[in-house]
Structure 1
Amino acid sequence: MSKEMLNALDTLEAEKGIAKEIVIEALEAALISAYKRHYGQAQNVEVEFDQKKGNIHVYAVKEVTEEVMDSQLEVSLKDALAINPAYEIGDKIRFEVTPKDFGRIAAQTAKQVILQRVREAERSIIYEEFSQYEKEILQGIVERQDNRYIYVNLGKIEAVLSKQDQMLNEFYQPHDRIKVFVSRVENTSKGPQVFVSRSHPDLLRRLFEQEVPEVYDGTVEIMSIAREAGDRSKIAVRSFDEDIDPVGTCVGPKGQRVQAIVNELKGENMDIVEWDEDPAVYIANALNPAEVSDVIFDLENPKSCTVVVPDSQLSLAIGKRGQNARLAAKLTNHKIDIKPESQMAEFYAQLDAQEEAMADAADEMMLEDENLSTEE
């Protein structure tokens, strides 16, 4: 088996990139276990693989002692000196104990070790390759589905699409070609596992990078995304070039750019709004297509605000089942309370009363400070 073994190791190194030393180390460890299984002794056994000839030798390692208590583990000083006068008590001596039929066992073990190393190497290569695609878009083909996942063929591996990562308006059939977002890649005991998504907000980000060159090169930046996958999304964008309209750039001539994304997402509606440093302007933009009259921030909680809209715009601002307001709140990271202008007289009165109360409290504190200073 010597030539075949050496040829197999050379092939592994050339084709799979698995170093011979790694395989030989694993092989020697496996052969010790095989020796123990077949011959019942391995606690003082070493296996050596001859890398030049491909031969395998088994050695029993014994310690030199004055008196032998266990002949399998020890050798007397007298016998050791007969072998070599330089031996002393405590030295280790290797005696070859290679069984005559060990070649057959070694061949079987070698085959198992090589197959295992090949599988591990292939898994490692696939993991390294697909971990580089994490947070990116790949195109795959729907293979099959069960109660837990839809399985998407990405070429070298089958990715899984969970129910929460699927879009509610989509039905997946075998052989369908779909673009998926690689949400994470894990290296499990069963091999690499790739998780993909169609509902992840960053799928939108990557689709805009593909369709809009200005987003890809950074001239236009996507600042925030709020998405209810398969139904509606809001995207906030800004431009680093004053001559470029970020919203118009993303929409494209006659809406071609955004329409390509809408088609990919099976009709998911897109609201593209302009990001602004002024939170009031940004929130008003986020409630598009509704018109906003005023944005009033809570004095105690700057992340909470009341948005005033004309009475005729109230239902549009809130949206179907509150969707427009909900997406705007998520996009801007603000709690938004929408009120019609007809209800604002009472609200402004409450606001004035609140401000007056805070002013009175401040005056009282100043008066107390003055009294304390006078007493001192």
Structure 2
Amino acid sequence: MSKELLNALDALEVEKGIKKDVVLEALEAALVSAYKRNYGQAQNVEVEFNKTRGDIHIFAVKEVVSEVFDSRLEVSLEEATQINRAYEIGDTIRFEVTPKNFGRIAAQTAKQVIMQRVREAERGIVYDEYIQYENEIVTGEVERHDHRYVYVNLGKVEAVLSHQDQIPGEEYKSHDRIKVYIYKVENTSKGPQVFVSRSHPDLLKRLFEQEIPEIFDGTVEIISIAREAGDRAKVAVRSHTDGVDPVGTCVGPRGERIQTIVNELKGENMDVVEWRDNPAEFISNALNPAEVIDVQFNPENERACTVIVPDNQLSLAIGKRGQNARLAAKLTGFKIDIKSESEFAKISDASDNTITNTDED
């Protein structure tokens, strides 16, 4: 058993990168537990492993005392000095207690410890590999699904796609190949757990980087994204190079670039708008495709504004179920109140009359 164990430890170090000393430390602790469990012992014991021959020895460690109360843990000074006259009270003495048939138990324990360390090492390797892909897009194959998750095979690990991370209305069938965004990798006791998403805003960002070289190389920058997965998204971009139209660059000739992204997201509508330093201009762009007449900011709240649009553009500016206004607010970071031109005029007139009456009083 000893030579086999040594050879196994050497192979582990070479093939799996598991240090021999790490396995031996775990093996010694496991052998102590195995000894106590199999021989009904409760004394303080130590395991000694000979790294040259592979021999295993069990020692009971006892303290030298003047009066023995527990013979499993203590030895009298009189008995100790019979072994060696140099022993004093408080010293510890090791007595070998290796059972004759302990080799079989040691072999079983060693096998269990080695297998456990191999599993841990393999899990560590997989974790180290996939933690590098956190916040990135990967392509996986749908394997199965249950009431909680869709399970996506990424190669060495099965990632989970929860309901909130799925695109509403999108169906996932076995063997479908899909692009997913890895937003979290955890190293659990059962191995690496990878969480992926199809609805995360950063999935959209990574798709833009994949399909549009100017975004990948930094010529065009994505400033913010507002997304309602499966329905509509707004992306604010700006150019860092004079003469480069950021919106046109993202849309591409005849809309080919943006269409590739739309197709990947199963028809999700995409508005690409130009970011501007001027908040009023940025808000106007964010409400695309609606036309904006004016943007007036609330003097009491610098992150709130009223947007005035033509009467015939009000419903377009607000959008279906308020979606256009909601996405524009999320994109810009402003609370946006949209008013039609005629409605705003009435409010302004009423306000002017109030001021005039106050002045006359």
TM range (shorter): over 0.9
Correspondence for 2:324: 324
Change (3 A) 1:225 1:64: same
Between the aligned partners of 1:177 and 1:219, the Cα distance in structure 2 is 31
Correspondence for 2:70: 70
Q: Structure 1 residue 52: deviation in Å?
A: 1.0
Correspondence for 1:364: none
Return the TM-score normalized by structure 2: 0.95
Between the aligned partners of 1:25 and 1:215, the Cα distance in structure 2 is 51
Q: Structure 1 residue 128: deviation in Å?
A: 2.0
Q: Which amino acid aligns with 2:155?
A: G
Aligned partner of residue 29 in structure 1, secondary structure: helix
Q: Structure 1 residue 353: deviation in Å?
A: 6.5
Which string of whole-angstrom CA distances, capped at 9 and with x for unpartnered residues, describes residues 218-268 of structure 1? 121111101010111000001111221111111112212111111111111
Q: Which amino acid aligns with 1:331?
A: L
Between the aligned partners of 1:181 and 1:349, the Cα distance in structure 2 is 52
Between the aligned partners of 1:286 and 1:125, the Cα distance in structure 2 is 45
Q: Structure 1 residue 121: deviation in Å?
A: 1.5
Q: How does 1:1-376 map to 2 (within 5 A)?
A: 1-350=1-350, 352=352
Between the aligned partners of 1:356 and 1:275, the Cα distance in structure 2 is 40
Structure 1 range deviating more: 121-130 or 279-288: 121-130
Aligned partner of residue 58 in structure 2, secondary structure: strand
Aligned partner of residue 339 in structure 1, secondary structure: strand
Between the aligned partners of 1:354 and 1:199, the Cα distance in structure 2 is 49
Which string of whole-angstrom CA distances, capped at 9 and with x for unpartnered residues, describes residues 65-84 of structure 1? 33444333233333333322
Superposition misfits of 4+ residues, deviation over 6 angstroms = 353-359
Q: Which amino acid aligns with 1:47?
A: V
Between the aligned partners of 1:9 and 1:72, the Cα distance in structure 2 is 33
Which string of whole-angstrom CA distances, capped at 9 and with x for unpartnered residues, describes residues 119-157 of structure 1? 112222222221221111111000000001000001111
Which string of whole-angstrom CA distances, capped at 9 and with x for unpartnered residues, describes residues 73-122 of structure 1? 23333333332232222221111110010000011111111111111122
Contact 1:35 1:42 in 2 (8 A): no
Task: Could you tell me which runs of 5 or more consecutive residues in structure 1 were left unpaired when the two chains were aligned.
Answer: 360-376
Q: How many residues align?
A: 360
Change (3 A) 1:44 1:269: same
Q: Structure 1 residue 330: deviation in Å?
A: 1.1
Between the aligned partners of 1:150 and 1:337, the Cα distance in structure 2 is 39
Q: Structure 1 residue 350: deviation in Å?
A: 4.5
Task: Could you tell me which runs of 5 or more consecutive residues in structure 2 were left unpaired when the two chains were aligned.
Answer: none
Q: Which amino acid aligns with 2:74?
A: E
Identity among equivalent positions (%) equals 72
Between the aligned partners of 1:352 and 1:188, the Cα distance in structure 2 is 66
Aligned partner of residue 302 in structure 2, secondary structure: coil
Q: Structure 1 residue 11: deviation in Å?
A: 1.4
Q: Which amino acid aligns with 1:133?
A: Y
Between the aligned partners of 1:230 and 1:20, the Cα distance in structure 2 is 52
Between the aligned partners of 2:336 and 2:285, the Cα distance in structure 1 is 13
Change (3 A) 1:271 1:334: same
Give me the CA root mean square deviation: 2.0
Aligned partner of residue 169 in structure 1, secondary structure: coil
Structure 1 range deviating more: 44-53 or 313-322: 313-322
Change (3 A) 1:26 1:240: same
Between the aligned partners of 2:287 and 2:21, the Cα distance in structure 1 is 64
Q: Structure 1 residue 314: deviation in Å?
A: 1.8
Aligned partner of residue 302 in structure 1, secondary structure: strand
Between the aligned partners of 1:3 and 1:358, the Cα distance in structure 2 is 103
Contact 2:43 2:72 in 1 (8 A): no
Contact 2:262 2:268 in 1 (8 A): yes
Which string of whole-angstrom CA distances, capped at 9 and with x for unpartnered residues, describes residues 5-37 of structure 1? 011111111122111111111111111111111
Structure 1 range deviating more: 197-206 or 215-224: 215-224
Q: Structure 1 residue 357: deviation in Å?
A: 11
Structure 1 range deviating more: 334-343 or 281-290: 334-343
Contact 2:42 2:72 in 1 (8 A): no
